[in-house]
Amino acid sequence: MQQGKLHLALFLAVLVVLSGTVAWWVRAAASRLAEQQAGAAGQATAVASASDEGYCTGPLKQILRRVLTSCGLIKGGAQRGCQPVQARNVAAMSGDDFNALFLPLANRAAIIQFDQDSAELGSRATALLDKAFADQRGASYFLVVSRASTEGPLAYNRELSRKRAEAVLDHIRSKFADPDLDQEVGLLWLGAEYAQLDKEFCTWQRSRPEEACTSAFLNRSAFIAWIDCRL
């Protein structure tokens, strides 16, 4: 009888310790979970988003938004591309100031060069264009700013620079079947009358680096760059 009681006491003691321990662990986990749910949402994980680089200052964004809206890039615009007069008006700044906007893009931009009086892309031009466009990273907008050298009449140069911008767009459209192209690519054609590139841009990536970097050669071109700004 005594042994039976001892057996039962041991049985209950070990079982109670075992069950109590398990219950304590589970309750502790449940109360941690309840606390966590009642408290703050916990550590926030970064959410995927487009790039917004340090150079995207407030004033730069404001000007970009104005240019991009007026030039038909941002959704809802009725046209595609800006002519020189429009570009000058929406940017509301001198040509040098306009060019200075793009100086922070030195490592992102490329200058696609053309023959005189031509809007045809050569093989090296398309190679550089493909490379630059494929390097989108987190950028949201691709700007094409085309120009002409000062030879020839004003109207002719405007038209020539428009053809150069459109040649770039046509190539991108055919090469990269990007469904967002219309919301990504903005065109500005400046002819030879506004914001001509100066020698400061000679060091930038060009499709004809071996060519002498005169003002004429440099401006028979389309300046292309992904803009890493969220607007």
- Return residues touching another protein (CB under 8 A): 3, 6-7, 10-11, 14-15, 17-19, 21-23, 25-27, 29-30, 32-34, 36-37, 45-51, 130-131, 133-138, 175-176, 178-180, 228
Nearer to another protein, 25 or 211 (CB): 25
φ and ψ of 141, to 5 deg: -130, 140
Residues in contact with 21: Cβ distance below 8 Å, sequence separation at least 6, in sequence order: none
Nearer to another protein, 14 or 85 (CB): 14
Looking only at the bridges linking them, the beta strands covering 221-227 and 141-146 are antiparallel
Nearer to another protein, 93 or 181 (CB): 181
Closest CB 13 distance from another protein, rounded Å = 8
Nearer to another protein, 23 or 154 (CB): 23
Closest CB 53 distance from another protein, rounded Å = 9
Partners of residue 188 on adjacent β-strands: 82, 145
Closest CB 106 distance from another protein, rounded Å = 18
Nearer to another protein, 42 or 155 (CB): 42
Nearer to another protein, 47 or 155 (CB): 47
- Alpha-carbon gap, residue 3 to 207, rounded angstroms: 99
Nearest C-alpha neighbor of 113 from the set 105, 103, 104, 123: 123
Give residue 8's identity as a one-letter amino acid code: L
Class of residue 74 by CB neighbours under 10 A (exposed 0-12, middle 13-18, buried 19+): middle
Closest CB 223 distance from another protein, rounded Å = 19
Closest CB 44 distance from another protein, rounded Å = 9
Closest CB 132 distance from another protein, rounded Å = 9
- Alpha-carbon gap, residue 142 to 59, rounded angstroms: 19
For helices 58-70 and 84-91, give the axis angle rounded to 10 degrees.
Answer: 150
